[in-house]
Chains A and B, each alone.
Chain A
Amino acid sequence: MKCFIDKVITHKDVTTDIKVLIPDAGLRRRMSSLIKNAVSTAVECLGGVDKIADLDAIITATGWGFLTDSERFLRNMIVNKEELLNPTPFIQSTFNTVGGQISLLKNNHCYNMTYVHRSHSFEDALLDAMMRIADSESKNVLVGAFDEATPSQQRIMERMGLFRHHNNGEGTVFAHLKSEKSENTIAELIKIEFLSESLTQKECLLKYVYSESSVLLWNKYKNYGLFPTATAFTFTDAVNLVKEGVKEVVVYNEYFGAKPTVIIVQNLL
């Protein structure tokens, strides 16, 4: 199983005006900042809202979902004693909201899936994309991952002692994957593995890193802060390294004691 990567960007790479990326004001006005970030990153990644129409799969990933909306509804519910509650934050808190909004922008009826499994949600989404491409069910896939930090989330994780050696974080990554190589292709995704046990760095090098010119990104998600889909940022780094000329990058993510994943990205030969 493998697929071709045409583009990968993070929310920091979004430069186009949001009103151009999300032209539907009706959709835009209901979006929390996470939903806005995620949808605009998705559209920027594709190169414009019209490109949504060509997708045959939209697969999203999040560890925590839409905390701002969930909290807003929960807060209202408690403070107003379950009376006179605004429906908007409730519907926006559904985990597949971003996937749904992307489809809505261009009335695309294609496959639409959302994975919410902590630190390997993004890898689950990539696996789904690879399987669909291998089965010839998709040729043009959008995969994305996003999580947001909120003051409550920060406070709760502080109380849990999780920020003793780590920082908080948040962000969005979207990748455009294809079944075939084209002039736009920048790298190849050749492997995703879900390990049942940890590996030491040495074991990882032995098992996955064959050549001396390969680069191993070992638990680099920590650079981005402690949020579940930070692993998607290391994927972005891997693809950027390949773009700059590195032949192969192996990404090992063992997020905070969860089962590790390995992703291998190669240049086009």
Chain B
Amino acid sequence: MKIVVTGLGLVSALGIGIEENIALIREEKTGIKTLPKILKTSNKLPVGELCVSNEDLHSVANINSKKHFSRTALLGILAVREAILDANLDMTKRVGLVSSTSVGGMDLSEHFFEKFIENDTSGRLRDVRMHDCAASTEAIARYCNINGYTTTISTACSSAANAIIQGAKLLKHNIVDAVIVGGSDALSAFTLNGFNSLMILDEKLCRPFDAGRSGLNLGEGAGYLVLQREKDVDTYYCQLAGWANRNDAHHQTTSSTDGDGAYLAMKEALNKAKLSPAQVNYINAHGTGTGNNDAAESAAFIRLFGKKLPPFSSTKAFTGHTLAAAGGIEAVFSVLAIKNGYLYPNLGFTTPIEDYGLKPITKFKDGVEVDCVLSNSFGFGGNCSSIVFIR
């Protein structure tokens, strides 16, 4: 059974909707801001923040601001709506949703908690109503009229890629006729401070795969695909040909030196697609900009591709690391790479990492023949996922 991508939806620091995002990518302009503007924090760090307030997001999403939705839910609703419209999806079919998030409604709960810890009768309950991961998924399902099987995955930074994997299985087993898959995460003080306590944030714009890289920039956003069976549709963007999830099993937060989890995930995904590494035309790397990830991922690339590494780049210097949404946002980029022949530049790169000598793409290209894309997403807990799209 062939599974195909029929719709795309995207929100990131670059803007709301695919058009806005691609317009800035063409001009090689990052969406990462020097300082947070909307997020309330005393941290002075660059973030991939979408400069639209929650109130305005409610407005754009056509939701009464009295609903007081979490930002994660709002970003998700916008991206899912775009994907559904893009696919021209018949919502009377069994349409499912596999969403993912790591922040959930924490963007609101952290405000609740400020008051609650002083006095347990304070804090507005409306700020914790959407705390759990499923709350944003249920809000998306409700506001996008999705009535089929719905679930939420949360495996840190590989979440949305895993949502794609689960969606494929649901189609295969006839539990849905169409499924919307991806993830959404808003910026929150909790995650910004969390990553800061791990000392893996760059105080400047991140430089994935660069010898002088010194960490990641957090971002927010949402990215979703609509997946359907090929026999049920007339047109589609491309095929979802392969996927895999494997575990690095090395450490809670750092990757093994040789990138075991990454290597195993990429290899298995390509095997599933019945492709050899030589057939990959572009890799959208996980490439966060941390010392550890980029080294481990480079090691895994060399193990799998040897000297014939295809063009690759990390798009995280455009969007920031959008955590659970990353796999979804980057899947959208991957599909567009095939459809429109895009090769995305790896902003911030100047010097290759000495031990590996790998050079990512540095200029945006259009109209390139891209038939096969590999997209990587690796998360805490050693969770490594790879997805393969083909024409």
Contact = CB atoms under 8 A, between A and B. Distances in A.
In the complex, A touching B (Cβ < 8 A): yes
Interface of A: 1, 30, 58, 63-65, 70-71, 73-75, 77-79, 81-82, 85-87, 90-91, 93-97, 99-101, 103-104, 106-118, 120-121, 124, 127-128, 131-132, 134-135, 152, 155-156, 159-160, 194, 196
B247 A110 contact: yes
A71 B112 CA distance: 12
A25 to B, nearest CB: 15
Contact of A97 (B132, B173, B381): B381
Contact of A82 (B43, B170, B383): B43
Contact of A86 (B106, B149, B169, B197): B197
A223 to B, nearest CB: 22
B386 interface: no
B382 interface: yes
A77 to B, nearest CB: 5
Contact of A116 (B110, B132, B166, B253): B132
Most B C-beta atoms less than 10 A away, residue of A78, A106, A196: A78
A108 B246 CA distance: 9
A131 B198 contact: no
B114 A78 contact: yes
Interface stretch (B13-21, B151-159, B227-235): B151-159
A30 B252 CA distance: 11
B60 interface: no
Given A87-B194, A109-B248, A100 B113 contact: no
A112 B41 contact: no
Interface string B375-389: 000011111000000
A97 B133 CA distance: 15
B154 A104 contact: no
A109 to B, nearest CB: 5
A85 B191 CA distance: 12
Contacts of B247: 58, 100, 103, 108-112
Contact of A91 (B109, B128, B198): B198
B117 A96 contact: no
Interface residues of B, number: 61
A156 B173 contact: no
16 contacts: A63-B134, A65-B133, A78-B113, A78-B114, A79-B117, A85-B194, A96-B381, A97-B380, A99-B383, A100-B383, A104-B251, A112-B382, A113-B153, A114-B154, A117-B137, A118-B138
Given A63-B132, A100-B252, A131-B173, A74 B245 contact: no
Interface of B: 41-43, 102, 106, 109-110, 113-114, 116-117, 120-121, 125, 128, 132-134, 137-138, 147-156, 162, 166, 169-170, 172-173, 175, 189-190, 193-194, 196-198, 245-253, 260-261, 264, 379-383
A111 B198 contact: no
B151 A100 contact: no
A120 B133 CA distance: 13
A118 B197 contact: no
A109 B246 contact: yes
A75 B116 CA distance: 10
Contacts of A116: 132-134, 152-154
Given A78-B113, A95-B102, A155-B120, A117 B151 contact: yes
Contacts of B147: 196
Nearest to A107: B249
A152 B112 CA distance: 12
A213 B334 CA distance: 54
Contacts of B250: 104, 107
Contacts of A91: 194, 198, 252-253, 380
Contact of B379 (A63, A64, A73, A96): A96
A148 B150 CA distance: 24
A207 B128 CA distance: 38
A266 B155 CA distance: 32
Nearest to B191: A90
Nearest to B109: A74
Contacts of A120: 151
A160 B148 CA distance: 29
Contact of A96 (B114, B121, B154, B189): B154
A160 B381 CA distance: 33
Nearest to A78: B114
B380 A74 contact: no
Contacts of B152: 115-117
Contacts of B173: 1, 131, 134
B117 A111 contact: no
A262 to B, nearest CB: 13
Contacts of A71: 113
Contacts of B245: 111-113
A85 B151 contact: no
B125 A160 contact: yes
Contacts of A111: 245-247
